């Protein structure tokens, strides 16, 4: 019998029953999946496969397509009945109209231990709910389950000469936590199954669940009636207050009672939205000395970096910022460098930035990101006996940090510090910026030098856009 729910659809239903219904009955209304979300999906799969090395010699029951689900449920049971099989990867179970695929199932005497792998450094409430669902299905399938465990990334792990999986991963027994959720899981399954029998989607008003714990991919559909000048976008106000006011019928920004504006950021953003123009704290302009200097004589810097979950160089830690490419714009000429993913490459990256720092002001999109890359490169270089530099580049100015200091707000935008948004308001030229996630993916996978050179040009467009934004903002100050 075909299942009605899976792990992902169950969690979707926990967040919003309307989203669950639309996902099943109206999938064509779904928003396009973002590049960042696709990257997370790939990363989770890779980490799950890597964690299998903690339990070598397992039998893989992974379904290659949905058409194999029923057969893999049977195959999993057959493998479990074989006393020679001590471990199963991607074990498939179905119970209560729910199908789950468990990452690792390990035999322990006459019982079994279950392991679910997460590519995160922390165990979240959602992960525990996911584990409780799997425990419910596996136990309901007749399996004598001794323990349910979550495997996740050890954020304090630092690679020495090679990656040690037993140190990279942490294992936590969450059996007590998932057992305590049994009644709520049963009730939640029943609710979701009932929702899927409805002829029309349930009436669920938009609210905080639209963004938590994950951004919903039906926002475009459910928010289509929200006016572009809605107070819901005034994110300096607490989310609960915005939705409360919205449900009272106060849909537009001008309907917001001004007595709700308690601090300078709220007032500045409110004025920006109300007048549909850029607004910032004029009293904070004494910090602006770097802007004209950078526009006139400074360099513009873009560091493209990856954040691999699994370290591959001595001195690396999980999710470190590893510099992958650098673009430097001086005057009207930009130069791009591909950074080798080695200790020598990290030393080259540090020397390049150190030389630049000695010349004049460096203007970057995000100072914190660059500083993180420098710290990581220093750590890796030091482990290899190479030269290091000061973690803090004294000539470095970050656009994101600068705009935050002066409380700058753009009218009706979800990303007031994003290059794409800023260039709409300050740049004389609109640059076609390729998503950084795709740039990282392409540069990590490409081997053809001509194609790599073309991809590096994509990194270079970021510094050109940054230069235009700074120049445009400078003109705003002079007006």
Domain check: are 124 and 154 in the same one?
yes
Domain check: are 307 and 440 in the same one?
yes
Q: What is the pLDDT of residue 43?
A: 63
Residue 126: is its pLDDT beyond 80?
A: yes
Say which residues have a Cβ less than 8 Å from residue 247's Cβ, sequence separation at least 6: 205
Q: If you average pLDDT over residues 154-175, what whole number do you get?
A: 95
Lowest-confidence pick of 105-109, 252-256, 428-432, 473-477 = 473-477
Burial class for 327, CB neighbours closer than 10 Å (0-12, 13-18, 19+) = buried
b/e string for 421-440 if b means 16 or more Cβ within 10 A? ebbebbbeeebebbebbebb
**Cα 472 → chain centroid:** 30
Domain check: are 108 and 135 in the same one?
yes
Tokens matching residue 392: 């803090």
CB 460 within 8 A of CB 336: yes
CATH number at residue 403: 3.30.420
Q: If you average pLDDT over residues 103-132, what whole number do you get?
A: 96
Which has the higher per-residue pLDDT, 347 or 403?
Answer: 347
Dist CA 261 CA 255 (whole Å): 13
Q: If you average pLDDT over residues 70-74, what whole number do you get?
A: 96
Answer with the one of 173, 195, 217 that is the final residue of a domain. 195
Q: What is the pLDDT of residue 313?
A: 96
Domain check: are 293 and 426 in the same one?
yes
Domain count, the chain: 3
Which pLDDT band holds residue 308 (cuts at 50, 70, 90)?
Answer: very high
Domain check: are 154 and 120 in the same one?
yes
**Cα 265 → chain centroid:** 26
Domain check: are 386 and 413 in the same one?
yes
Q: What is the pLDDT of residue 377?
A: 97
Q: If you average pLDDT over residues 30-41, what whole number do you get?
A: 69
Rounded to 10°, the helix 7-15/17-25 angle is 130
- Helix/strand/coil (H/E/C) assignment for every residue in 132-171: HHHHHHHHHCCCCEEEEEEEEECCCCCCCCCCCHHHHEEE
Q: What is the pLDDT of residue 318?
A: 96
Residue 290: is its pLDDT beyond 60?
A: no
Helix and strand counts by DSSP (H, E) for the chain: 18, 12
- Tens of pLDDT, residue by residue over 259-268, are 899 999 999 9
Dist CA 115 CA 131 (whole Å): 9
Residue 45: is its pLDDT beyond 90?
A: no
- Answer yes or no: is 294 within a domain: yes
Rounded to 10°, the helix 419-426/449-478 angle is 50
Domain check: are 250 and 312 in the same one?
no
Which pLDDT band holds residue 62 (cuts at 50, 70, 90)?
Answer: very high
Q: What is the pLDDT of residue 100?
A: 97
Give residue for tokens 């954020």. 155
> Which residues are registered as beta bridge partners of 95?
98
Domain check: are 244 and 130 in the same one?
no
For residue 73, the enclosing domain spans: 5-195
- Tens of pLDDT, residue by residue over 406-459, are 899 998 777 788 898 899 888 888 888 998 989 999 999 989 899 999 999 999
Half-sphere exposure of 279 (CA within 13 A, CB side): 17
Q: If you average pLDDT over residues 232-258, what whole number do you get?
A: 91
Which pLDDT band holds residue 208 (cuts at 50, 70, 90)?
Answer: very high
CATH number at residue 168: 3.90.320.10
CB 308 within 8 A of CB 371: no
**Cα 469 → chain centroid:** 26
- Answer yes or no: is 208 within a domain: no
Instruction: Give the residue ranges of DSSP H helices in 227-359.
Output: 239-247, 264-275, 290-297, 343-359
Residue 296: is its pLDDT beyond 60?
A: no
- Compute the mean pLDDT over every residue in the chain, rounded to the nearest whole number: 91
Dist CA 405 CA 402 (whole Å): 5
Which has the higher per-residue pLDDT, 356 or 142?
Answer: 142
Dist CA 155 CA 246 (whole Å): 40
Dist CA 388 CA 390 (whole Å): 7
Lowest-confidence pick of 282-286, 316-320, 414-418, 422-426 = 282-286
Which has the higher per-residue pLDDT, 42 or 399?
Answer: 399
Which pLDDT band holds residue 298 (cuts at 50, 70, 90)?
Answer: confident
- Answer yes or no: is 351 within a domain: yes
Q: What is the pLDDT of residue 360?
A: 77
Lowest-confidence pick of 103-107, 160-164, 240-244, 390-394 = 390-394
Dist CA 303 CA 326 (whole Å): 5
- Answer yes or no: is 204 within a domain: no
- Answer yes or no: is 121 within a domain: yes
Domain check: are 262 and 318 in the same one?
no
- Answer yes or no: is 206 within a domain: no
- Answer yes or no: is 45 within a domain: yes
Domain check: are 245 and 381 in the same one?
no
Dist CA 260 CA 236 (whole Å): 11
DSSP, collapsed to helix, strand or coil, labels residue 402 as helix
- Answer yes or no: is 406 within a domain: yes
Domain check: are 246 and 174 in the same one?
no
> Which residues are registered as beta bridge partners of 230?
252
Residue 192: is its pLDDT beyond 60?
A: yes
Q: How far apart, in Å, do the first and last CA atoms of the chain sit?
A: 70
- Tens of pLDDT, residue by residue over 330-350, are 988 999 999 999 999 999 999
Q: What is the pLDDT of residue 477?
A: 75
Q: What is the pLDDT of residue 76?
A: 98
Nearest to 13 by CA among 98, 90, 70: 98
State the pTM of this model: 0.89
CB 300 within 8 A of CB 459: no
Dist CA 117 CA 103 (whole Å): 6
Domain check: are 144 and 255 in the same one?
no
């Amino acid at each position: 019998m075909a299942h009605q729910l899976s792990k992902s659809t169950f969690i979707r239903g926990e967040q919003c029953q309307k989203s669950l219904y639309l996902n099943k009955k109206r999938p064509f209304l779904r928003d396009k999946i973002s590049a960042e979300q696709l990257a997370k999906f790939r990363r989770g799969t890779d980490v799950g496969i890597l964690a299998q090395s903690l339990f070598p010699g397992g039998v893989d029951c992974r379904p290659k397509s949905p058409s194999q689900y029923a057969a893999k449920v049977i195959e999993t049971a057959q493998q479990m009945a074989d006393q020679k099989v001590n471990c199963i990867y991607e074990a498939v179970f179905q119970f209560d109209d729910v199908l789950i695929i468990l990452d690792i199932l390990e035999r322990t005497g006459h019982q079994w231990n279950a392991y679910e792998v997460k590519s995160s450094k922390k165990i979240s409430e959602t992960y525990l709910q996911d584990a409780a669902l799997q425990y419910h299905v596996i136990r309901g399938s007749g399996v004598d389950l001794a323990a349910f465990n979550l495997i996740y990334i050890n954020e304090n792990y630092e690679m020495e000469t090679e990656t040690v999986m037993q140190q990279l991963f942490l294992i936590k027994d969450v059996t007590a936590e998932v057992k305590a959720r049994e009644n709520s899981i049963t009730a939640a399954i029943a609710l979701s199954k009932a929702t899927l029998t409805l002829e029309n989607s349930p009436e669920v008003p938009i609210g905080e669940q639209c963004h938590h714990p994950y951004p919903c991919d039906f926002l475009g559909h459910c928010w289509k009636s929200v006016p572009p000048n809605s107070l819901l976008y005034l994110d300096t106000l607490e989310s609960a207050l915005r939705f409360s006011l919205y449900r009272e019928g106060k849909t537009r920004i001008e309907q917001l009672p001004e007595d709700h504006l308690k601090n300078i950021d709220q007032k500045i953003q409110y004025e920006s939205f109300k007048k549909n123009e850029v607004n910032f704290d004029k009293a904070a302009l004494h910090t602006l000395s770097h802007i004209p200097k950078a526009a006139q004589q400074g360099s513009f810097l873009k560091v493209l970096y990856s954040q691999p979950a699994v370290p591959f160089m001595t001195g690396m830690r999980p999710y470190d910022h590893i510099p992958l490419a650098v673009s430097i714009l001086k005057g009207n000429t930009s130069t791009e460098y591909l950074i080798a993913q080695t200790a020598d490459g990290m030393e080259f990256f540090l020397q390049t930035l150190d030389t630049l720092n000695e010349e004049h002001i460096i203007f970057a999109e995000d100072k914190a990101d660059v500083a993180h890359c420098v710290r990581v490169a220093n750590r890796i270089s030091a482990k290899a006996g190479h030269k290091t530099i000061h973690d803090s580049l004294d000539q470095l100015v970050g656009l994101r940090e600068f705009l935050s200091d002066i409380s700058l707000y753009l009218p009706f935008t979800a990303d007031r510090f994003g290059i794409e948004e800023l260039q709409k308001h300050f740049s004389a030229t609109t640059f076609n910026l390729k998503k950084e996630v795709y740039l990282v993916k392409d540069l990590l996978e490409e081997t053809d030098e001509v194609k790599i050179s073309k991809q590096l040009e994509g990194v270079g467009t970021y510094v050109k856009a940054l230069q235009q934004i700074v120049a445009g903002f400078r003109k705003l100050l002079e007006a």
